[in-house]
A = this chain, B = another copy of it.
Amino acid sequence: MPYFDAASSAPLHPVARQALLAALDEGWADPTRLYREGRRARLLLDAARETAAEAVGCRPDELVFTPSGTRALHDGIAGALAGRRRIGRHLVVSAVEHSAVLHAGAALEAAGGTVTEVPVGRTGRIAPADWAAALRPDTALAALQSANHEVGTRQPVAEAAAACREAGVPLLVDAAQSLGWGPVEEGWSLLTASAHKWGGPPGVGLLAVRKGTRFALPGPADERENGRAPGYPDIPAVVAAAASLRAVRAEAAAEDARLRVLVDHVRERVAQLVPDVEVVGDPVHRLPHLVTFSCLYVDGETLLHALDRAGFSVSSGSSCTSSTLEPSHVLRAMGVLSEGNVRVSLPRGTTAAEVDAFLTALPGIVAGVREQLGAPTGASAAVSPAGEELVVDSLGKRCPIPVIELAKVIGDVPVGGLVTVLSDDEAARLDIPAWCGMRGHEYVGERAAERGVAYTVRRRA
């Protein structure tokens, strides 16, 4: 039963399990205590910090363990902002950062600060020039992920770091998705990561703060972890996190090469096997194990359930799979199709046979969902008699129905004619332009309607 959602959480690495069990016996006591059980716990904690620091590429006293990657981001950003409050209260982020970063930005705005979101291109990468232009004299911090969690695109961290250095702005790199594959390029001031993404246990994040970086964690003081991570440390989990990080790093080069081939195969074959599919993310600057694609005329939730019944565990950035009914902010920032979105992220050890089984099953499953939804097939209906504008009322209908209804009637207007779709579904704003791009039609624009939004398309082919 292949599990293809390593980017959400990787199965526990055998080394992590082994280390966790050993440390449960040796590392349960309070490491600040003077007696033998406390000293043993302290030794384990110190050793884990050295191991993790070596993998991160920092000094042990620059690294603390947090309860999660999210807490590392929240506290890392809050601490860096507070440390430079006198400089200003401006934060620079990319538009495709993890929601923990964007939420930290929203909290800053609510408190009177400002945030600049640097846009990304269609493959999800920022342009270093845009990054440099966003830095201001009052910029307290810039935050950039090393690689994206939804589409796998790697960011030009070294260039962004150079721009930050020149502007005197500390750079926080969110390395949650990449740290298991290798160290982050030089130039960062703060770095965060999350152990369960590389096969470590849940309950452990990393926060590294380079010496010389101004940092002042707001909130109640606490002596643990150099004052940067309040609360009793989870030493067994920390030991397991460090041991598994070293283990996956030792296997990283070989596994990177192997999974890269499998993902390239998926990228190529999905586009051949499934009609009306868009493979997204950067084909070159990318994580080795992750590929994302979107399928026209497909309901993401139904697709996920069908794949799950067939034994494949994947995730999706489609609006119907989020609690807010909005498509993923990453896909939106990239301007790519969000309906029928599927993220495949291969855990270490995934075999070619498992990937082939997925590629064999996928076309039939997508076709089945499309049939269920009444998606258009092949040739369009007869050409409409007159050149008037067609209006399709899709109000109250959810993704992918508005796009399906648009596709069904586009043949009813002559080339050059207009179709307007009325929709109150947030996904339409992203998916109707994306459909136009994939189909070679012209997206004219949107305007507010009496209810919902009117999206207008000109038939070009």
Chain A residues close to B by CB (< 8 Å): 1, 3, 5, 8-9, 11-12, 17, 20-21, 24, 28-30, 33-38, 67-71, 74, 78, 100, 103-104, 106-107, 194, 196, 201-203, 205, 218-224, 230-237, 301, 304-305, 307-308, 312-315, 321, 323
Report how far A317 CA is from B205 CA in the complex, Å: 31
When A30-B9, A305-B34, A313-B36 are in contact, do A221 and B106 touch as well, CB less than 8 Å?
Answer: yes
Closest residue to A107 on the B side, CB-wise? B220
Q: When the two chains form their complex, are residues A8 and B24 in contact, meaning their CB atoms are under 8 A apart?
A: no
Closest residue to A20 on the B side, CB-wise? B24
Report how far A312 CA is from B33 CA in the complex, Å: 13
Q: When the two chains form their complex, are residues B70 and A323 in contact, meaning their CB atoms are under 8 A apart?
A: no
Q: When the two chains form their complex, are residues A74 and B219 in contact, meaning their CB atoms are under 8 A apart?
A: yes
Q: For residue A312, which residues in chain B have a CB less than 8 angstroms away from its CB?
A: 35
Q: For residue A196, which residues in chain B have a CB less than 8 angstroms away from its CB?
A: 28, 232
Partner of A231, one of B1, B36, B70, B221: B70
Q: When the two chains form their complex, are residues A69 and B9 in contact, meaning their CB atoms are under 8 A apart?
A: no
Q: When the two chains form their complex, are residues A202 and B28 in contact, meaning their CB atoms are under 8 A apart?
A: yes
Q: When the two chains form their complex, are residues A201 and B236 in contact, meaning their CB atoms are under 8 A apart?
A: yes
Report how far A236 CA is from B36 CA in the complex, Å: 27
Closest residue to A234 on the B side, CB-wise? B203
When A5-B35, A34-B305, A103-B221 are in contact, do A232 and B201 touch as well, CB less than 8 Å?
Answer: no
When A8-B30, A202-B233 are in contact, do A222 and B313 touch as well, CB less than 8 Å?
Answer: no
When A34-B308, A301-B34 are in contact, do A232 and B68 touch as well, CB less than 8 Å?
Answer: yes
Min Cβ gap A2→B in Å is 11
Min Cβ gap A303→B in Å is 10
**Identical subunits present:** 2
When A5-B33, A35-B308, A36-B308 are in contact, do A203 and B70 touch as well, CB less than 8 Å?
Answer: no
Report how far A5 CA is from B74 CA in the complex, Å: 33
When A232-B68, A314-B35 are in contact, do A28 and B9 touch as well, CB less than 8 Å?
Answer: yes
Q: When the two chains form their complex, are residues B24 and A237 in contact, meaning their CB atoms are under 8 A apart?
A: no
Closest residue to A39 on the B side, CB-wise? B308
Q: For residue A9, which residues in chain B have a CB less than 8 angstroms away from its CB?
A: 28-30, 232
When A11-B28, A74-B219, A220-B74 are in contact, do A232 and B3 touch as well, CB less than 8 Å?
Answer: no
Q: For residue A33, which residues in chain B have a CB less than 8 angstroms away from its CB?
A: 5, 8, 313, 315
Given contacts A33-B313, A67-B203, A70-B231, 15 further A-B contacts (CB under 8 A): A5-B30, A5-B33, A24-B201, A28-B202, A33-B315, A34-B301, A34-B321, A36-B313, A100-B222, A103-B220, A107-B220, A194-B232, A202-B237, A203-B237, A234-B234
Q: When the two chains form their complex, are residues A231 and B5 in contact, meaning their CB atoms are under 8 A apart?
A: no
Report how far A236 CA is from B313 CA in the complex, Å: 20
Report how far A451 CA is from B235 CA in the complex, Å: 44
Closest residue to A24 on the B side, CB-wise? B12
Q: When the two chains form their complex, are residues A304 and B8 in contact, meaning their CB atoms are under 8 A apart?
A: no
Closest residue to A35 on the B side, CB-wise? B313
Min Cβ gap A459→B in Å is 37
Q: For residue A235, which residues in chain B have a CB less than 8 angstroms away from its CB?
A: 202
Q: When the two chains form their complex, are residues A234 and B201 in contact, meaning their CB atoms are under 8 A apart?
A: yes
Partner of A74, one of B3, B24, B230: B230
Closest residue to A308 on the B side, CB-wise? B35
Closest residue to A72 on the B side, CB-wise? B231
Report how far A219 CA is from B68 CA in the complex, Å: 16
Report how far A363 CA is from B25 CA in the complex, Å: 32
Partner of A28, one of B12, B21, B68, B104: B12
Min Cβ gap A240→B in Å is 10
Closest residue to A11 on the B side, CB-wise? B28
Report how far A36 CA is from B28 CA in the complex, Å: 32
Most B C-beta atoms less than 10 A away, residue of A20, A69, A312: A20
Report how far A305 CA is from B33 CA in the complex, Å: 11
When A8-B29, A36-B313 are in contact, do A231 and B24 touch as well, CB less than 8 Å?
Answer: no
